[in-house]
Amino acid sequence: MQSHEQIAYLGPKASYTHQATLSAFDSDNYTFSPQTTIEDVFYQVQAGKAAYGVVPFENSTNGSVVFTLDLFADQSAKHPDIVVCGERYVEVHHCLLGHPAISGQGHATGPAKVLQEETKSPSSSGHATPIPGNPNPTNSRAAPLTSLSHIKKLYSHPQAWGQCKTFLSCYLKGVERQDVSSTSRAAELVAADDTHTSAAISSGIAAQMTGLDFLARDIEDEKDNATRFFIIRRRSLEDTSPSSVTTGKDADNQQNARAFKSLLSFTVSHTDAGALANALAVFGSHGINLTSINPRPSGEAPWHYMFFVEFSGKRGQLAVDDTLSGLDKVVRSWRWLGSWENALQQKQ
């Protein structure tokens, strides 16, 4: 029997990362291997146990997934060979999953009673307070489908809280939150809670998997909420060998550059005036379009940073290779983290 290559992803099944994995790999040809943490995914790929890994990288509402950036920063040199080789975008529509209240649970006494009077919403479990960006908290895009007054604890992945701020502040303000490793793990924990007083922010698919009820749907602040995932693999010799380098007009035309993206990290002197500006100027002087920049603590000393930049183009194109040579002269250190096909090129 042919042994399938393994794809490591942040699990368990029904996580958004699982959905990204299904959109990138055919389950007939690969074996999917759910991992507990994003670090476990990096480890599996670095150790050669998985051919590819799938990890969240950034969300359209809540920004960068810092756990992933810090694994690329790799302060303890555990994953020196990981590079990005692809990307996938997944629409993220969060649901509140749990068990409906049973009679006698969640009486509207004390704070809940106050809440009912304040918000005229008998289904909430906390106080509604105006927050910046949503002066009228009753303006949540979603309303609960059932009473939430019995919900005493919430589980989710930390990224999800920031994507559902309005719903949470409106209907579940002050309810204890517990960070867990993924939204689908949150659903598993709630399904195992016999008290029926917890709820998970998770995907609709996780409801099918666990048998939990929908207490609310589409609770994300922005209706076009989406997360971008990276497909990672181990760096290979061809990645940097001269034979992979393409030159000539074709490699340099703008259209071709937009078809690809690249990621690299660098550090600059913390004390030299203009060090960061000089590094960024190298990209502009070679006509390279920078699409994002993210600083993360470098671990060298407090307030020292490593910068991650994403840009159009791929290694092997003349302008990109010249940029890397130029960068090498002005930064303290840099690391190429991969080039891949731009999944949005049709839409730009």
Ligand X SMILES: O=C(O)C(=O)C[C@]1(C(=O)O)C=C[C@@H](O)C=C1
Q: Does 182 bind ligand X (CB under 6 A)?
A: yes
Mark the segment that binds ligand X (CB under 6 A) among 99-107, 117-125, 177-185, 315-323.
Answer: 177-185
Using CB under 6 A, which of 65, 190, 264, 331 touches ligand X? 65
* The amino acid at 34: P
State which residue, 210 or 227, has the beta carbon closest to ligand X.
227
What is the DSSP track for 136-152?
Answer: SGGG-S---SS--TT--
State which residue, 82 or 209, has the beta carbon closest to ligand X.
209
Q: Does 227 bind ligand X (CB under 6 A)?
A: yes
* Euclidean distance between CA atoms 321 and 247, whole angstroms: 10
Tally Cβ neighbours within 10 Å of residue 153: 17
Q: Does 159 bind ligand X (CB under 6 A)?
A: yes
Q: Does 294 bind ligand X (CB under 6 A)?
A: no
Q: Does 200 bind ligand X (CB under 6 A)?
A: no
What is the DSSP track for 158-187?
Answer: HHHHHHSHHHHHHHSTT-EEEE-S-HHHHH
State which residue, 41 or 101, has the beta carbon closest to ligand X.
41
Q: Does 164 bind ligand X (CB under 6 A)?
A: no
Q: Does 35 bind ligand X (CB under 6 A)?
A: no
Q: Does 183 bind ligand X (CB under 6 A)?
A: yes
* The amino acid at 324: L
Burial of 185 (0-12, 13-18, 19+ CB in 10 A): buried
Mark the segment that binds ligand X (CB under 6 A) among 11-19, 105-113, 129-137, 264-272.
Answer: 11-19
Q: Does 43 bind ligand X (CB under 6 A)?
A: no
Six token digits for residue 137: 């908290």
φ/ψ of residue 63, rounded to 5: 80, -155
Residues binding ligand X: number (CB under 6 A): 15
Helix 275-285 vs helix 318-330: angle between axes, to the nearest 10 degrees?
160
Using CB under 6 A, which of 17, 35, 119, 317 touches ligand X? 17
Q: Does 251 bind ligand X (CB under 6 A)?
A: no
Residues 206 and 184 sit within 8 Å (Cβ to Cβ): yes
Using CB under 6 A, which of 8, 15, 171, 190 touches ligand X? 15
Query: Do the strands 213-216 and 95-98 form a parallel or antiparallel pair, or are they unpaired?
Result: antiparallel
Chain residues binding ligand X by CB under 6 A are 10, 15-17, 56, 59, 65, 92, 157, 159-160, 182-184, 227
